[in-house]
Amino acid sequence: MEIIENRKDLLTILNTWKDLNLTTAFVPTMGYLHEGHLSLVKKGNEQADKSIVSIFVNPTQFGPNEDFSQYPRDLNRDITLLNEANCDLIFAPDVDEIYDGSQIPHWSVPDSLSLRLCGRSRPGHFDGVVEVVTRLFTLIPADFAIFGEKDYQQLCIIKTMTNALKLKPKILSGPIIRNPEGLALSSRNKYLNDLEKNTALCLFQSIQEAKKMAAIDPTMNAQSILEYLKGTLFNNPLIKLDYLEIIDERNLSLLENLNPFARLMIAVYIGQTRLIDNANLFE
Ligand code: AMP
């Protein structure tokens, strides 16, 4: 496994692989890796000859009052995990290596995708995501890039952006990996104490409850499901609900009645920690 910190060395390796006609799969991450990230690396290894993982905590996608400086980092641990996962190349640049003043194609996130859900409570977040992913795709024009459904809105935005800018990678996605109790794995789970971790199970429980209701009435009014969940599982002083919505997963628009593309989208604060989760209600 190669560990690279700068563009020049990255280009040398990518060119060697290109000369050998090897295909590549790229998994962008912010590090502090867990089984969710590693499932995407596994998918990359299945899809392509070589897998590449970037580890970069991108400052431009954090708001001024968010956790950029506290975001957990442990490169040595990440290296061990990626070695075990048969990753071929780690790209772990510093901020100046990514934001070096070079020109990249520009694309503005349409309001219909950026001003809703996470975009509403994190203004500018998706502009930062789009910029860093465009920079990374320019440096690493892989055949495939793999993102988790955990960040479902991000996945939709990146698919749309990659199409609009005609960037190289084919975007693939992987399902949400959870702990045995159902909590979606996240680097931010490190912030939770035991009580908060237990409280955080409301996310998965709400998905299960919503699925049960959807199974009984597949065209049910979305609002009645949301009202039920708000009055029961989220009616807890330790939980601050950021959003709870049922959307059409094809375009993120709000759904009045369920259809086969209905996806429950959830964001909560538990203590200081913001957690998100989502699921299609019929899968
Ligand atoms: P992050 O390091 O949080 O930026 O995440 C890097 C990639 O891993 C993103 O595509 C995430 O959607 C994905 N990811 C994060 N957590 C999970 C999870 N629990 N299951 C599957 N993919 C995940």
Note down pLDDT in tens along the chain; length 283 residues.
Answer: 999 999 999 999 999 999 999 999 999 999 999 999 999 999 999 999 999 999 999 999 999 999 999 999 999 999 999 999 999 999 999 999 999 999 999 999 999 999 999 999 999 999 999 999 999 999 999 999 999 999 999 999 999 999 999 999 999 999 999 999 999 999 999 999 999 999 999 999 999 999 999 999 999 999 999 999 999 999 999 999 999 999 999 999 999 999 999 999 999 999 999 999 999 999 9
Q: How many residues does the chain have?
A: 283
User: What is the amino acid identity at position 79?
Assistant: I
Among residues 164, 217, 201, the alpha carbon closest in space to that of 277 is found at 201
Q: ∠ at Cα 22 (42, 137), nearest 5°? A: 70
Closest atom of ligand 1 relative to the 148 alpha carbon: 12
* Confidence at residue 279, expressed as pLDDT on a 0 to 100 scale: 98
Per-residue buried b or exposed e for 127-149, using 16+ beta carbons within 10 Å of the residue's own CB: bbbbbbbbbbbebbebbbbbbbb
Q: Which residues line ligand 1 (CB under 6 A)?
A: 29-30, 36-37, 39-40, 147-148, 150-151, 174, 176-177, 184-187
Least Cα distance to 203 among 150, 140, 248 occurs for 150
Ligand 1 closest atom vs CA 185: 19
Structure pTM?
0.98
- 125 as an active site residue: the answer is no
The three-class DSSP label of residue 206 is: helix
